[in-house]
Structure 1
């Protein structure tokens, strides 16, 4: 049942919240350390270390829950949004929305980038075909590029579910633990602050050139902005459903569709502008957020458990 009360929420467990943030970031740097000591993202271990890094927020949340007992033992499943899944109908349709919406939003951001001149789109896929041939051994037979493109796009929904296995490690921390922990501040402060922290957490790999190809603070700032933009949507899924699962699936879907721009670009684009985490993505997500706000989607939220274990009535916006 959805609460309509606007009574201010209860207190924040600041020691546990700060411990979670520090642990998440410290563990991420620890996992990424071999990349910094080696050849960066060219290290052979990158494909293993990046998925491991995605589970550091979950490890941090587990440590805080077990050591600092935040949330209380009897409220942990509810606090993390793992269980119960009710009302089931709402949780299910938000899971489906989280599964299907990110590829659509990424596609819209690609079209917007093309319209603004940030990327030259090539619907003959010549550049994509050249990259495929370059990646394969000489003489390897290659199917028609149209077949490859259709197969790539058709595989996104399945890839989204696979990617959700790794996205779970992040979401159990960010939207499972952190958003409810910050929610007494109000919906918007919780969503924005959690998005900033999520972006900063990516620093160990962003500073190596991941995502944007920028190895200075500008890359981190672009990532923070992208995480705030997408974090509002993922946070809305979490708060609207009182479940972490729609955010898990949406995060996996975003990761599966994030490289879609490579298929359509005539040349390597500047992902800080044209990518789903770049400016084009910010614009699209801002429009989606505006629609959610106008339609009152942030006002209607089921009850959650707060960090000390009590039920939260709806917070101030």
Structure 2
């Protein structure tokens, strides 16, 4: 019942927040950035209301996934893995798309990047590539707080509620809901401007289900919402930051087919997700109590 209430509330409120864009100039509205940011806060807001006023658990931060953070090494380790892994997946999607023939890549000459800068033909543009990746990493941390607005809802509160029904159903349902939640912006042309709105929503559901399974793995393995939130921030930064980075000069990138947004970019994360599920890697970390028990048992045995 609570899951259904959450789903309805978060979808309705997202539409309510985005409604001014529909009554105005859509994606060209000067308020688009603030509206999108406010919309990103809605999953966490609905989860917070449910936890505080309906569930009222003793440990509310735990129910939202904000705690535990300790052990720090585990949380920081999965946060680093999530960020670097997400950036790598966004980059790997580009040569995969080039091999398939849907991404106009020029990895040898970097003609698109060279044409957009003042770098001469005899100069290397790789320092600019490294600078761009540095900017993407910085943007990932800037995106952390907005990403938390989504992750507290999707992976912090919702995913643990769905896991008793099984890993695959939990991943599928949370992914479909996450993707459908983007509909108010997608139907205006966001992310997939060249296709009908219904197709854009289906594409986003596909991407969110596959990539969301990896974010869910981070949530389960770390016991915290912080690692998937940082990975989500990396996704938002790298998806746009690498879009034309390795493209040929004057090329057009079709996001329905290429990059992490398109179907060719789902191949590697889908294989990884299947491998994690098949190897039963979706295991929760031991609780503090369990860890202390194991330590006490070892200490007693040595004594």
TM-score by length of 2: 0.86
Taking structure 1 as reference, are residues 27 and 129 closer, same or farther at Cα in structure 2, changes over 3 Å only? farther
Match of 1:11 in 2: none
Paired residue total: 278
Question: 2:246 matched to 1:264?
Answer: yes
Q: How does 1:232-243 map to 2 (within 5 A)?
A: 232-243=213-224
CA positional deviation for 1:35: 1.2
Q: Distance in 2 between matches of 1:215 and 1:42?
A: 18
Residue in structure 1 matching 2:6, options 20, 39, 57: 20
CA 1:129–1:109 in 2, change beyond 3 Å: closer, same or farther? same
CA distance in 1, matches of 2:229, 2:97: 27
Q: Which has the higher contact order (CA 8 A, sep 6+)?
A: 1
TM-superposition CA deviations, 1:121-148 (whole Å, max 9, x none): 1243433455x57xxxxxxxx5668244
Does the CA-based 8 Å contact 1:21-1:197 persist in structure 2?
yes
User: 219-228 or 49-58: which moved more?
Assistant: 49-58
- The answer for unaligned runs of 5 or more in structure 2 is 288-303
Q: Distance in 2 between matches of 1:148 and 1:253?
A: 19
Q: Write the distance in 2 (CA, Å) between the matches of 1:155 and 1:143.
A: 19
User: CA–CA distance in 2 between the matches of 1:165 and 1:215?
Assistant: 31
Q: Do 1:55 and 1:169's aligned partners in 2 also have CA atoms closer than 8 Å?
A: yes
**Worse-matched range after superposition: 33-42 or 245-254:** 33-42
Choose from 135, 160, 163 the match for 1:180: 160
CA RMSD, aligned part only?
Answer: 1.9
1:253 aligns with 2:243: no
- Partner of residue 127, structure 1: 112
Q: 2:187 aligns with which of 194, 207, 220?
A: 207
Task: Compute the displacement of 1:92 (Å).
Answer: 2.0
Q: 1:58 aligns with which of 41, 44, 64?
A: 44
1:67 to 36, 42, 53: 53
Alignment of 1:285-304 (within 5 A): 285-298=269-282, 300-302=283-285
Give yes or no for contact 1:191–1:235 (8 Å, CA) kept in 2: yes
CA distance in structure 1 between the partners assigned to 2:197 and 2:83 by the alignment: 33
Deviates more, 1:79-88 or 1:39-48: 79-88
Deviation at residue 77 of structure 1 after TM alignment? 1.4
Corresponding residue for residue 193 of structure 1: 173
